[in-house]
Amino acid sequence: MLIRSLAIPKRDLTVVKESATLQEAIDILEESGYRCVPILDETGTLFRGNIYKMHIYRHKANGGDMSLPVTHLLKNATKFISIDSSFFKIFFTIKELPYIAVLNKDNTFFGILTHSSLLNMLAQSWSVDAGSYVLTIVAPSRKGDLFQITKIINKTTSIANVITLDVSRDDVLRRVLVTLPADTTKVELETVITGLEKQAFKVVSIEDLRNE
């Protein structure tokens, strides 16, 4: 459901059929203004890969035949996710790509999930619009640290969002980013900081989202 709501469906996309020539593909790319578009089979249901403007122009500059099929410069044929893929698979598959192809459960082409859509979702989960302060808290990697941090904060105010960093590194300090709700006062903020530092949690950074 997450991907379905974030992805751009096929009907709203510019695509290139696999029978198109490189010249036809570059014409489509130039007209659309995109640097990369999906290549689909002739039925428009199967994802073949992506075609990039830069690769076509490089081919042309080197005297390449522009009447070759677009599949001659096909890229990212294995870069796709399923409509029901987990968030972690999405995040690590898309990486440096401008978008990732999304397939239905029957492996037909659903659409694409763009890098910007994913970043916008992460920004929303950070509660930037609904938050007040973001605290960067350093925890000494003890069992139950996250429970203790949330317990201390909830004595004074609620929590809009929590993100933990450094989770792949053992026996080092962990950073926990906590977003406090929009109605948190300065007094409540100071109370939270005092409570955290009494329990050996150091608040190393405070960002006021309302001043950004």
Q: What 8-state DSSP symbol labels residue 23?
A: H
Query: What local confidence, expressed as pLDDT, does residue 128 receive?
Result: 62
Q: Is pLDDT at 212 greater than 60 in this prediction?
A: no
More confident residue, 137 or 121: 137
Q: Which of 188, 206, 192, 182 is nearest to 127 (CA)?
A: 182
Query: What local confidence, expressed as pLDDT, does residue 166 receive?
Result: 66
Domains and CATH numbers, the chain: 2-121 (3.10.580.10), 128-211 (3.30.70.260)
Mean pLDDT of 129-151: 87
Taking the mean position of all CA atoms in its chain, how far away is CA 48? 23
Query: What local confidence, expressed as pLDDT, does residue 99 receive?
Result: 93
Q: Which of 40, 16, 42, 11 is nearest to 107 (CA)?
A: 40
Q: Which of 97, 166, 181 is nearest to 132 (CA)?
A: 181
Mean pLDDT of 1-19: 90
Q: Is 21 helix (H, G, I), strand (E, B) or coil?
A: strand
pTM over 0.85: no
pLDDT digits (tens, 9 = 90+) for 41-59: 999 999 999 999 999 999 9
Taking the mean position of all CA atoms in its chain, how far away is CA 117? 7
